[in-house]
Amino acid sequence: MQDGITRVVIVQQVPHEGPGVIARMLRRLSADTEVVRAYRGDRIPRSVGPSVALVILGGPMGAYEEGKYPFLTEELRLIESALKAGTPVLGICLGAQLMARAAGARVYRGGAKEIGWYPLHLTEEGRRDSLLLGLPSELRVFQWHGDTFDVPRGGVNLASSELFPHQLVRLGRRAYALQFHLEVTEEMVYEWLDVNVEELRGLEGVIYPDAIRAETPGSIPVLHRYGKAVFSRFFRL
């Protein structure tokens, strides 16, 4: 980790969407890490210090559902404060959508759902970005979302998929919103398939859980190589 970053704060939305390989990396780095579990009522800080990196994880709720999930209001306030302060911020899936909303962009339902393994294409700007240098221009990544977001004013779109053009957005110099999941472990993928069985039942004939299970063992090692590169660079920003 960069000498200036002394602590990492991770906000977790639901029990089954944890930090995955991010936690493994931080343990290897002996990083001082705090996990704020919003789903069980942990206090969301109003701000984080200048030497803290902030990670906002995913969840099944929408970034616009503060009425149903009041802690999202506090998270939006925290993210807005961090973006204004130039804090390193990494948002994943719902976390990315919250970052976009905190930065003034629209978050809304997409025309379809991306659930499973999909190709991701780096934009020209993405191929030049320091977080992604050396990665292939096309990556196969894990997705689980139906919402999407517009690029906030001043943001730069770094990656797209066939269904969702805004997949990885840089906000300023040290804040990145990732719509996809580089943090998942093989066990997490299988757990999500089990936990979200009702959602998947409603997508029968569109999303194929058995195909996702079959593809996961061969795809996870490559995903982890991408994740290791991206996350290690993020924590050195």
Name the residue type at position 212.
I
36-47 pLDDT tens trace: 999 999 999 999
Judge whether residue 1 has pLDDT over 70: no
Q: How far is CA 174 from CA 17, 48, 58, 131, 236, in A?
A: 23, 15, 19, 10, 10
- Look at residue 2 in the predicted model and tell me its pLDDT: 57
Judge whether residue 174 has pLDDT over 90: yes
Task: Please state the pTM of the whole predicted model.
Answer: 0.96
> Given strand 7-12, what is the order of strands in its sheet?
32-37, 7-12, 52-56, 89-92, 175-178, 168-171, 156-160, 107-122, 138-149
Q: What residues are labeled active site?
A: 93, 181, 183
Task: Please state the rounded mean pLDDT for residues 149-157.
Answer: 98
Residue closest to 149 by CA, chosen among 131, 175, 168, 162: 168
46-89 pLDDT tens trace: 999 888 999 999 999 999 999 999 999 999 999 999 999 999 99
pLDDT band at 30 (very low <50, low <70, confident <90, very high): confident
Domains in the chain and their CATH numbers?
Answer: 7-234 (3.40.50.880)
